[in-house]
Amino acid sequence: MTHVDLSGPPALQATGVSVRFGKTVALDGATLSVQPGEVHGLIGRNGAGKSTLVSVISGLLHPHSGEVRFSEDVAPKAGHVGAWRTHIGTVFQKPMIARELSVLENLFLGAPIVRGAGVVDWSAMRERATSALQEWGIAVDLDAAAGRLTIGQQQLLEILRIMMLGPKVIVLDEPTAKLGRAEAIVLMEHIRLLRSRGISFVYVSHHLNEVLEVCDTVTVVRNGKNVWTRAASDITVPDLTEAMSGGAVSFAGVIDGTRGRTNGAPRDVLQVRDLTTSLLDRVSFAIRPGECVGLAGLKGSGNQEVGKVLAGLAPPRSGVIQIEGKPVNATKVRTMLDAGVGYISGDRHFDGFVPGMSITDNLAMAVLKRVSRFGFVDERRRNQMVSAITAELDVVASSPAQQVASLSGGNQQKVVLGRALASRPKLLVLDNPTAGVDIASRESLFGAVAAACNAGTAALIISDDEEELKRCGRILVMVGGRLSTELAGGSSDSTIMAAMSEGN
């Protein structure tokens, strides 16, 4: 830790930061202090407040209380983006590059070198860019379109752009989520190089081994509060997982679906053999009727890809998928729906619901054929179906005619699940079904899944959230596009977390 300057004031200090969103407390007096030249890991599970804290220290979100200081200077006012960028730069999970513009233009995006009267000084920019690329040992053409770089190069490009403005602190939000191992190693090397020059990092990641490898210090947050901050050399992965989960024992019921097994067909509902796509490597598993199986894995592990394949959204390269023993060709959504797969995606805003349509129309969308007679929608039949589903899922709304856009996140998700249930699937495939959902809605959602399982439906829950996974009767863990292990139902949070971050 010789590179860390402990004598001076912290490069970044956030104290007593509290943020509320309506009734939800996202951060409650959180604190973060980073010395010059320190790589500081920030970990916590989904919803713990990591992203909110990152937004606050990046100047994107103004906290209700608390303050941020850079080298003892009070941070600029929220919204003064330009002023914040000279202190701190953030590389978000989503690449923030203009794909059509050249590498050169991207390096100076929003902050070009200008002569008087706002005229852009191209030759000076080209000179600075060339020397920066050389210094970093990155061999890319300045005039190439940035979108044609590899993801790793794009990420380095973003870090380089941030460095152009001379901040002392860089925030990396899940930097390796989309990187291969080789690219990740290059990134680590650059982090070490920069920290030897006194640059500090805030390193946000789910990959715990990686955090321990690259960070000097680690801060764990849970429920919007700090758990502890310790030197990385003193701690192990189990220490981290225990701190993240709070050592809490799960009281939530495990969905074992024993009742469903006797109700359903005798053979496996789903059989997947040697499923291979660009992201998956020979994945094989089977699910019995009434069973609720978790498919665990961090972002990029391929577990979400399995869901897309089963939904018919990502045609597999090779492998066999059988539903109730019958092979299906997973190339079309309609085929998979007809085969009995009900899918809800991980991004409800992208393809989960139609915001401007009523609850009724959203629920009926996938089953219009079934509630129609001679092509015309039988409104009585449709409304019966809708009221049965809204009652079962406990959707809180003024009427079934209410627009889904005006519902809370939890109730929107109930509508999405309801739509999947409406087609009476043999297999439910749920991608992070309770992400960003309040606790009461989470219980309603899992209650509906449990009811479906008891009636013989099989469920596959794709998730990186232990809260969801530990409800499953058994848990299949994916790492790097392959199935790595199988865990028993009701495994502790830390066991699940450790298995997911294994090998990273």
Partner 1 sequence: MHSVITKETPSDAKDGHAPMRARLRFKLPANLLLLPALVATFVAGAFVSPVFLNPSNIVDNIAGSSAPLALLSLGLTLILLTDNFDLSLQSTVGFAPMLAGLLMVPSEFGGVGANLNPFLGFVIALVLGAGIGAFNAMLIVKVGLNGFMVTLSMLIVVSGLTLGFSNGRTVSPLPDSFTYLGNTHWLGVPVSVWLVGAISLVIGGFLRYHRIGRSIYAIGGNLEAARASGISVDRIRVGVFVVGGALAALGGIVISGITSAVTANQGNNMIFSAFAAVVIGGVSLQGGKGTVLGVLSGVLLLGAITNVLTLAQVSSFWIDAIYGVVILLALLVGRIGGKGHV
- The whole-angstrom separation of Cα 32 and Cα 226 is 9
- Residue 21 or 122: the one with the smaller Cβ distance to partner 1 is 21
For 210, the token pair is 């990686």
| Residue located via tokens 């502790």 | 492
Other C-beta atoms lying within 10 Å of the C-beta of residue 170: 23
State which residue, 421 or 477, has the beta carbon closest to partner 1.
421
Q: Which residues bind partner 1 (CB under 8 A)?
A: 19, 21-22, 24, 26, 46-47, 49, 51-52, 55, 60-61, 311, 313, 333-334, 337-338, 343, 345, 349-357, 361, 364-366, 368-369, 372, 375-377, 379, 405-409, 412, 419, 423, 436
* Residue among 177 and 354 whose Cβ is closer to partner 1: 354
Rounded CA gap, 283 and 144, in Å? 37
User: Which of 258/406 has CB closer to partner 1?
Assistant: 406
Tell me how far, at minimum, the Cβ of 228 lies from partner 1, in Å: 22
Beta bridge partners of 170: 89, 201
Nearer to partner 1 (CB atom), residue 231 or residue 368: 368
For residue 77, the 8-state DSSP code is P
DSSP 3-state percent helix, strand, coil across the chain (nearest 5): 35, 25, 40
Using an 8 Å Cβ cutoff, are 377 and 371 in contact? Answer: yes
Residue closer to partner 1, measured from CB, 197 or 334: 334
Q: Smallest distance, Å, CB 242 to partner 1?
A: 23
Q: How far is the CB of 409 from partner 1 (least distance, A)?
A: 6
Closest distance between partner 1 and the C-beta of residue 279, in Å? 19
302: tokens are 């391929």
Least distance (Å) between residue 101 CB and partner 1:
20
**Secondary structure of 276-319 in the HEC alphabet?**
ECCCCCCEEEEECCCCEEEEECCCCCCHHHHHHHHHCCCCCCEE
Residues 6+ apart with CB under 8 A from 415: 353, 359, 362, 363, 395, 404, 407
Task: State in angstroms the smallest separation of the CB of 262 from partner 1.
Answer: 30
Beta bridge partners of 451: none
Task: Rank residues 124 and 354 by Cβ distance to partner 1 and give the closer one.
Answer: 354
In angstroms, what is the minimal distance from the CB of 413 to partner 1? 10
What tokens appear for 345 in the block?
């995606």
Which tokens is 277 given? Answer: 């796509």
